[in-house]
Amino acid sequence: MESPLNHPNDDRFDLDGDTLHEECGVFGILGHSDASTLTALGLHALQHRGQEAAGIVSFDGRQFYAEKRMGLVGDHYTDPALLAKLPGTMAMGHTRYSTTGEVALRNVQPLFAELGDGGIAIAHNGNFTNGLTLRRQIIATGAICQSTSDTEVVLHLVARSRHSSTTDRFIDAIRQMEGGYAMLAMTRTKLIAARDPIGIRPLVMGELDGKPIFCSETCALDMIGAKYIRDVENGEVVICETQPDGSISIEARKPARPTPERPCLFEYVYFARPDSVVSGRSVYGARKRMGMNLAKEAPVDADVVVPVPDGGTPAAIGYAQASGIPFELGIIRNHYVGRTFIEPTQSIRAFGVKLKHSANRAEIAGKRVVLIDDSIVRGTTSLKIVQMIRDAGATEVHIRVASPMIYHSDYYGIDTPDPEMLLANQHETLESMCKFIGADSLEFLSIDGLYEAVGGEKRNDQAPQFTDHYFTGDYPTQLTDLTGRDKNEPKKVSLLKEAG
Ligand SMILES: O=P(O)(O)OC[C@H]1O[C@H](OP(=O)(O)OP(=O)(O)O)[C@H](O)[C@@H]1O
Ligand SMILES: NC(=O)CC[C@H](N)C(=O)O
């Protein structure tokens, strides 16, 4: 796939190949004697957010240490010898799924630079919608980039800032960035956390043994027995600093113009772990309510409710409870296969789907089955699973999807394919889509049904409470790299066709 953030007519900046991308996870801790081990454990809990690569940077009071590996956290960071190479009481890590820049070691985060006043490491979940525009500008003025990641631009901007303190330089840098970001930065004495002005990507603050922690999701805090303190607010920068007496100061700043928060709905639909609490809402509870609303909006006469595991399971429980139809595990998932949505090529994806699910015939044969999935992106999963359920002897197969149709690409840290690859854009009608998948019926949750499930009220079209462009085409920021506009030009663009 051609990255939407690459200018099609400028080969120098065609940094990406035909890949699918998703999210990343970040974790950082300051002042703890087990900093790098705790970071490895935290990253393990955030593995679902990025499976391409993982990295950890630590600082022991004298120097920075960095270890980066392609592959899963558990494949590398369980080795005591590797963790021993990451000494010190401050550490920060990242699990990557690329959105800009290829899958290569040079793009694995945290990224690190030596500046005039010491080193700085940064870790980023999200994607900058003006990253390539700024990259061009800095390269034109002589910068030598070490990676093809959008994140690297932040290091250059920190280096160039005229402010005197590292914190002010970091803030100066991120103020120039557009898009979605939950970022951590680490200097010799500080751990800094920052979230984009509308809070598209999640970031929470916790504490273990009195030491501050920042991470993408609360499940990483639970993993290490840490206490949740609060979410880093949209547009907020929180600076934790080790003082000469060993104490840690915490300062919160709001450099961005106050704007209402608009967290990403897809965190609730698919990405976040169900045991996480995102922006104060249980992901599991939201998914169950999606299923309940779906049962009200799209009832069906059936004998059994079957989730498409894992993503569809909480919504299927909600659907079964609201409809009174028995819930059964009619599909068994092989847990040794990764998340198909985030595998790097379509051919590997198709293979992965086949390896991943198998029908539990005893619960399906002779029954009218309603399958519940959290989302349909390309339709690969639905197509295969409907056939599999029929082959297992189901008399009818109905699909209910716990989110609306996806029409638009994401530019904030999730990779959805090009719009023409999305199933919703390949069919004029729901009937045609249903026929293609081979189901007896197909229905999607409405956007209001989704909003109510997550936030308790319908979408406010004048001021939407969530980021939801993949369903609606309503991009909440400018898309400078895509449109060629810079941020001083008139407001937000909507260049993709309207959902509907
Ligand atoms: O329409 P498609 O292109 O097939 O994509 C949608 C599917 O991908 C996701 O599952 P995935 O297997 O990634 O993850 P999960 O096991 O966490 O549900 C999602 O839950 C859907 O089942
Ligand atoms: N998915 C993400 O959050 C990716 C972070 C960053 N844009 C990268 O590609 O490395």
3-state secondary structure labels for all residues of the chain: CCCCCCCCCCHHHCCCCCCCCCCCEEEEEECCCCHHHHHHHHHHHCHHHCCCEEEEEEECCCCEEEEEEECCHHHHCCCHHHHCCCCCCEEEEEEECCCCCCCCHHHCCCEEEEECCEEEEEEEEEEECCHHHHHHHHHHCCCCCCCCCCCHHHHHHHHHCCCCCHHHHHHHHHHCCCEEEEEEEECCCEEEEEECCCCCCCCEEEEECCEEEEECCHHHHHHCCCEEEEECCCCCEEEEEECCCCCEEEEEECCCCCCCCCCEHHHHHHHCCCCCEECCEEHHHHHHHHHHHHHHHCCCCCCEEEECCCCCHHHHHHHHHHHCCCECCCEEECCCCCCHHHCCCHHHHHHHHHHHEEECHHHHCCCEEEEEECCCCCCHHHHHHHHHHHHCCCCEEEEEECCCCCCCCCCCCCCCCCHHHCHHHCCCCHHHHHHHHCCCEEEECCHHHHHHHHHCCCCCCCCCCCECHHHHCCCCCCCHHHHCCCCCCCCCCCCCCCCC
Tokens of residue 228, six digits = 């949740």
Q: Are residues 240 and 299 both part of a single domain?
A: no
Q: Are residues 153 and 296 both part of a single domain?
A: no
Among the bound ligands, the one closest to the CA of 403: 1
Distance (Å, rounded) from C-alpha 51 to C-alpha 340?
11
Among the bound ligands, the one closest to the CA of 148: 2
130 lines ligand 2 (CB under 6 A): no
Whether residue 16 contacts residue 100, with contact meaning beta carbons closer than 8 Å, is answered with yes
Indicate whether 477 belongs to any domain: no
Q: Which of 398, 416, 302, 494 is nearest to 3 (CA)?
A: 416
446 lines ligand 2 (CB under 6 A): no
Output the residue whose Cα is nearest ligand 1's atom 3: 378
Residue-level pLDDT at 83: 98
Point out the domain boundary residue: 209, 236, 262. Answer: 262
**How far does the centroid of ligand 1 lie from the alpha carbon of residue 375, in Å?**
7
Q: Are residues 240 and 292 both part of a single domain?
A: no
Residue-level pLDDT at 343: 55
Q: What is the pTM of this model?
A: 0.90
Residue-level pLDDT at 335: 81
Among the bound ligands, the one closest to the CA of 183: 2
State which residues form the domain around 339.
280-454
Q: In testing the pocket of ligand 2, which one of 6, 98, 201 has its CB within 8 Å of the most ligand atoms?
A: 98
Q: Are residues 290 and 427 both part of a single domain?
A: yes
Q: Are residues 158 and 212 both part of a single domain?
A: yes
Point out the domain boundary residue: 199, 228, 262. Answer: 262
Domain count for the chain, please give it: 2
379 lines ligand 1 (CB under 6 A): yes
The set of residues, in sequence order, having a beta carbon less than 8 Å from that of 490 and lying 6+ positions away, is none
Indicate whether 494 belongs to any domain: no
Q: Are residues 300 and 362 both part of a single domain?
A: yes
Q: Which of ligand 1's atoms lies nearest the C-alpha of 341? A: 13
Q: Are residues 238 and 285 both part of a single domain?
A: no
403 lines ligand 1 (CB under 6 A): no
100 lines ligand 2 (CB under 6 A): yes
Q: Which of 215, 216, 296 is nearest to 23 (CA)?
A: 216
Residue-level pLDDT at 257: 82
Q: Are residues 316 and 186 both part of a single domain?
A: no
Q: Which of ligand 1's atoms lies nearest the C-alpha of 378? A: 3
24 belongs to the catalytic site: yes
In DSSP terms, 299 is beta-bridged to none
The set of residues, in sequence order, having a beta carbon less than 8 Å from that of 276 and lying 6+ positions away, is 217, 218, 219, 283
Q: In testing the pocket of ligand 1, which one of 47, 340, 415 has its CB within 8 Å of the most ligand atoms?
A: 340
Q: Measured between alpha carbons, how far is residue 264 from residues 121, 181, 261, 270, 471 in Å? A: 26, 11, 10, 11, 11
Q: Per-residue pLDDT tens, the chain, 500 aa: give them.
A: 333 333 333 333 333 333 234 679 999 999 999 999 999 999 999 999 999 999 999 999 999 999 999 999 999 999 999 999 999 999 999 999 988 888 899 999 999 999 988 999 999 999 999 999 999 999 999 999 999 999 999 999 999 999 999 999 999 999 999 999 999 999 999 999 999 999 999 999 999 999 999 999 999 999 999 999 999 999 999 999 999 999 999 999 999 888 999 999 999 999 999 999 999 999 999 999 999 999 999 999 999 999 999 999 999 999 999 999 999 999 999 887 655 555 556 666 555 556 788 999 999 999 999 999 999 999 989 999 999 999 999 999 999 999 999 999 999 998 778 899 999 999 999 999 999 999 999 999 999 999 999 999 999 999 999 999 999 999 999 999 988 754 344 333 333 333 32
**How far does the centroid of ligand 2 lie from the alpha carbon of residue 434, in Å?**
34
**How far does the centroid of ligand 1 lie from the alpha carbon of residue 312, in Å?**
9
Angle at 39 between CA 336 and CA 44, to 5 degrees: 10
Among the bound ligands, the one closest to the CA of 416: 1
Indicate whether 484 belongs to any domain: no
51 lines ligand 1 (CB under 6 A): no
Compute the Cα dihedral for 340, 345, 348, 349 and give only its sign. Answer: positive
CATH number at residue 206: 3.60.20.10
Indicate whether 170 belongs to any domain: yes
Indicate whether 462 belongs to any domain: no
Indicate whether 459 belongs to any domain: no
Q: Are residues 17 and 115 both part of a single domain?
A: yes
Whether residue 69 contacts residue 54, with contact meaning beta carbons closer than 8 Å, is answered with yes
Indicate whether 471 belongs to any domain: no
Angle at 347 between CA 346 and CA 352, to 5 degrees: 95
**How far does the centroid of ligand 1 lie from the alpha carbon of residue 245, in Å?**
50
378 lines ligand 1 (CB under 6 A): yes
Q: In testing the pocket of ligand 2, which one of 16, 125, 181 has its CB within 8 Å of the most ligand atoms?
A: 125
Q: In testing the pocket of ligand 2, which one of 3, 100, 178, 342 has its CB within 8 Å of the most ligand atoms?
A: 100
Residue-level pLDDT at 339: 55
Point out the domain boundary residue: 435, 454, 473. Answer: 454
Q: Are residues 246 and 284 both part of a single domain?
A: no
Residue-level pLDDT at 491: 34
Q: Are residues 318 and 443 both part of a single domain?
A: yes
Q: Which of 24, 215, 219, 264 is catalytic?
A: 24
Indicate whether 490 belongs to any domain: no
Buried residues in 468-494 as b, exposed as e (16+ CB within 10 A): bbbbbbbbbbbbbbbeebeeeeeeeee
CATH number at residue 318: 3.40.50.2020
Tokens of residue 468, six digits = 């939801």
416 lines ligand 1 (CB under 6 A): no
Tokens of residue 403, six digits = 């989110």
Whether residue 348 contacts residue 52, with contact meaning beta carbons closer than 8 Å, is answered with no
Q: Are residues 362 and 284 both part of a single domain?
A: yes
287 lines ligand 1 (CB under 6 A): no
